[in-house]
């Protein structure tokens, strides 16, 4: 496990959907507010908890064929996981996913039946955020109907690998949906600070960032805050689509620390929802500006209707940090039956998992393979230029350029040969 030396720095009060290298699969447009975890437009109405008394006083569904398991009730499962070796959160045929391992563990623990395991609709399964290949989660929430007498956290964990942990199982209302009831998501990105060095000569493992440089980065990050058209920060999205507009609540630098001789800086972003690759592209553009590869005006231009060629930072450092249920908590936390979906009481457990499994994996992989160093070499391949404004029917050209850009990033993500600059430091 990596040794971490904390360095004192002001921690900004902020808190990052699901991103990471994309799996080659058909594009699925999610309904309301999921951040790449979510593909929902800012203007979409958030689902509100119902006022039906039955939503509070529901009775468990009885099943005569499952004696001893009790009736079925709706639960929220709080998860922590490291995305190493997984092709994302969402269940997909023939690949290893977080959901597949979780569902099999629920079945082995007898919390769901075989029929429910094979048909997610029968267990009303829903994820809060759809994290991509290799992306981790400090706090992820899924909602599921399962047998109340078998909702045993320890037993379910006994059927899971150590890199996936059920932190808590919480009774929720029968209409609860973890995606639709989530009002915001926050992500962290663990960034080697040498990526923010202004010159190639300073791009070394022993680079240390200054407070003045952090102020400059925070200024750039703050320009993303608010509602903007983020069509240039995802794939296959026209600037004329309502869903291209997203609202960012907070985006700033957090703490910094040194591990394995490399200084890391935590970036935190909080928003209603995020699109595919959005966070990684926002970070990629900021890095390009700080390194003087893109001009300062590139960020403001990226919000207009013209297509911009923006690099996508590696998925290695990205993790879902938190999910928020303010509306649900206000309506149900004091009804005498349910509790608030507030994760503060689990902070010690989730933080320990983050340090041992998520941070340690990112630090060790970066130290051994220089993932960020390799990716930095691909930034000059991007033009950051403004092409002519995109019309509603010009998507084929857009898709081809995005596919080429994705191939550049995947090459940087998967290569394992260290650069000479990285090795000789």
Active site residues: 132
Q: Is the separation of the CB atoms in 107 and 124 below 8 Å?
A: no
**Quick count: other Cβ atoms within 10 Å of Cβ 62?**
9
Task: Enter the DSSP assignment of 137.
Answer: E
DSSP strands (E only) in 196-344: 226-229, 245-259, 262-271, 306-308, 318-324
CA distance 208 to 187: 24
Q: Do residues 195 and 337 touch, judged by C-beta distance below 8 A?
A: no
CA-closest candidate to residue 377, choices 335, 411, 328, 336:
411
8 Å CB contact between 375 and 313:
yes
CA distances from residue 234 to 23, 41, 172, 214, 389 in whole angstroms, order as listed: 14, 13, 34, 26, 17
Cβ contacts of residue 19 below 8 Å, gap of 6+?
A: 36, 131, 132, 135, 187, 274, 276, 277, 278, 279, 280, 315, 318
Place of tokens 């006083």: 57
Q: Is 415 helix (H, G, I), strand (E, B) or coil?
A: coil
Strand, coil or helix: 403: helix
Residue 322, helix vs strand vs coil: strand
Q: How far apart are CA 141 and CA 229, in angstroms?
A: 28
Taking the C-alpha atoms of residue 321 and residue 141, their distance in angstroms, rounded to an integer, is 11
Joined together, the tokens standing for residue 273 give: 């929802």
Check if the beta carbon of residue 232 is closer than 8 Å to that of residue 210.
no
Give the residue carrying structure tokens 């390009």. Answer: 288
Q: How is the chain split among helix, strand and coil, in percent rounded to 5? A: 35, 20, 45
């Amino acid at each position: 496990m990596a040794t971490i030396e904390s360095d004192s720095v002001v921690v900004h009060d902020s808190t990052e959907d699901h991103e990471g290298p994309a799996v080659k699969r058909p594009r699925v447009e999610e309904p309301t507010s999921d951040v790449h975890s979510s593909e929902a437009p800012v203007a979409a109405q958030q689902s509100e908890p119902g006022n039906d008394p039955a939503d509070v006083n529901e009775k468990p569904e009885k099943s005569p064929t499952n004696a001893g398991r009790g009736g079925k009730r709706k639960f929220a499962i709080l998860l922590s996981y490291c995305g190493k070796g997984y092709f994302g959160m969402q269940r997909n045929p023939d690949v290893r996913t977080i959901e597949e391992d979780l569902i099999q563990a629920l079945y082995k623990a007898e919390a769901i039946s075989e029929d429910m395991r094979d048909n997610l609709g029968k267990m009303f399964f829903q994820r809060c955020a759809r994290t991509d290949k290799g992306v981790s989660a400090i706090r992820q929430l899924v909602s599921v109907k399962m047998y109340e007498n078998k909702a045993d956290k320890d037993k379910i964990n006994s059927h899971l690998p150590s890199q996936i942990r059920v932190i808590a199982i919480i009774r929720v209302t029968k209409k609860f949906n973890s995606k639709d009831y989530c009002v915001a998501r926050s992500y962290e990105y663990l960034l080697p600070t040498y990526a923010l060095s202004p010159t190639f000569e300073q791009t070394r493992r022993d680079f240390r960032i200054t407070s003045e440089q952090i102020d400059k980065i925070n200024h750039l990050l703050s320009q993303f805050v608010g509602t903007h058209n983020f069509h240039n920060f995802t794939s296959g999205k026209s600037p004329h689509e309502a869903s291209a507009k997203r609202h960012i609540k907070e985006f700033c630098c957090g703490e910094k620390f040194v591990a394995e001789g490399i200084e890391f800086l935590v970036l935190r972003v909080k928003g209603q929802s995020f699109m595919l690759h959005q966070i990684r592209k926002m970070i990629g553009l900021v890095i390009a500006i700080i390194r003087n590869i893109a001009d300062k005006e590139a960020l403001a231009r990226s919000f207009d209707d013209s297509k911009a060629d923006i690099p996508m930072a590696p998925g290695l450092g990205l993790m879902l940090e938190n999910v928020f249920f303010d509306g649900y908590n206000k309506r149900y936390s004091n009804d005498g039956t349910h509790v608030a979906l507030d994760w503060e009481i689990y902070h010690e457990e989730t933080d320990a998992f983050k340090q041992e499994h998520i941070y340690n994996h990112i630090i060790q992989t970066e130290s051994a393979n220089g993932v960020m160093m390799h990716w930095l070499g691909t930034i000059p391949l991007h033009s950051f230029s403004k092409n002519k404004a995109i019309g509603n029917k010009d998507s084929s050209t857009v898709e081809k350029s995005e596919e080429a850009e994705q191939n550049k990033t995947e090459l940087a993500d998967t290569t394992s040969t260290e650069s000479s600059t990285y090795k000789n430091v």
